[in-house]
Amino acid sequence: MRQERRTSTSIYRAATNRTTQAPQDAFARWAALQAWSTDATNRLNEEADLDFWERIAPTYDLGALPTRVPAVLERVRALVPSGTSLLDVGAGTGAFTLPLAQTATRITALDYSPAMLRILRQKLADAAACNVRAVLARWEDAALEPHDVVLAANALYRTADLRLALRKMIELARRRGIVVWSVGRQDAPQQAVREQVRPEQYQAGPDYVHVLEGLYHLDVFAHVDLIETDDTQRYSNDAQATDGLLSWSPITADDQVRVASLLPHLLERDGVGWRWRRRGRIAVIWWDGPDANADAACRS
């Protein structure tokens, strides 16, 4: 009790102590978190990221978010008024693009990975989807015309300059902007392991709250829908389970031994393998643009 009182008193003193130093702004915090993070998914290095997509592209669709969590696609679909134009930033293999091509009149699907766009172009040809234009470009450099809706689904994970990325979205979105973000990135639930094996090893990067904060600083007061998902993982043997629980790099032999000893405490037996019950959350962040209430049919 005394300890609690002392802590809250010192927090109060610190909070009321005037300082002449400006607090870090949202975009500086974002950049600092990106640079600090050891999360394997932020891949700031462009070459490493493009190599990653080159390897993953052929099988990406098996685990694509709209396939795993149809509720997210339905939420996004409801936010794209029918008969509108859509810009899909970081469209990848088109896991959102193709289903949304049934709602939107015309879609620009932008991605900087040739491997991901190859798959997308093949799918567009197979589906004879003539209302989608695939554009190979970096979002940071792309010069595009405004669209009714601008969507970035799990595409801002490696953004270094959040101000630039969000400003472009806001400027190009006439009716609505949408950012989909897998909360906690994919490795966040491994916290129990990190704390027990190497408490200081994992450093989380920015998350959906920082996207919201960035929007707020640009005078956009966005809505957030959090969609819960069943993220239960199954591993067919000890080695797979150990790999699945390690979320930092580099991983040492000692880390592997220590995690292996934790398996019976963290996971449930599933035949000869293991099951890890966990919940995930997907944030759908959205805002209305200047023409939010315009009638799409009246625009060219």
CA distance 273 to 190: 18
Instruction: Tell me: does residue 190 bind ligand SAM (CB under 6 A).
Output: no
| DSSP strands (E only) in 115-242 | 132-136, 147-153, 173-182, 223-230, 233-235
At closest approach, how far in Å is the CB of 287 from ligand SAM? 18
At closest approach, how far in Å is the CB of 151 from ligand SAM? 8
Site string for ligand SAM, 94-113 (x = CB under 6 A): -xx-------------xxxx
CA distance 150 to 171: 10
Cβ-based nearer residue to ligand SAM, 53 or 248: 53
Instruction: Tell me: does residue 64 bind ligand SAM (CB under 6 A).
Output: yes
CA distance 25 to 217: 9
DSSP 8-state secondary structure symbol assigned to residue 291 = T
Which element (helix H / strand E) includes 183? none
HSE-CB for 292 with a 13 A CA cutoff:
10
Instruction: Tell me: does residue 155 bind ligand SAM (CB under 6 A).
Output: yes
Instruction: Tell me: does residue 80 bind ligand SAM (CB under 6 A).
Output: no
At closest approach, how far in Å is the CB of 182 from ligand SAM? 8
At closest approach, how far in Å is the CB of 207 from ligand SAM? 15
Instruction: Tell me: does residue 172 bind ligand SAM (CB under 6 A).
Output: no
At closest approach, how far in Å is the CB of 74 from ligand SAM? 14
10 Å CB burial of residue 7 (0-12, 13-18, 19+) is: exposed
Residue 89 DSSP SS3: strand
At closest approach, how far in Å is the CB of 135 from ligand SAM? 9
Residues from 131 through 150 that contact ligand SAM (CB under 6 A): 138-140
At closest approach, how far in Å is the CB of 256 from ligand SAM? 27
Site string for ligand SAM, 5-44 (x = CB under 6 A): ----------------------------------------
CA of residue 35 relative to chain centroid, distance: 17
145 to 40, 86, 245: CA distances (angstroms) = 34, 11, 44
Of 203, 167, 24, 178, residue with least CA distance to 103: 178
Among 31, 33, 65, 150, binds ligand SAM (CB under 6 A): 65
Asked if 88 and 108 touch (Cβ cutoff 8 Å), the reply is: yes
Site string for ligand SAM, 208-247 (x = CB under 6 A): ----------------------------------------
Residues engaged in binding ligand SAM (CB under 6 A):
53, 64-65, 90-92, 95-96, 110-113, 116, 138-140, 153-155, 158
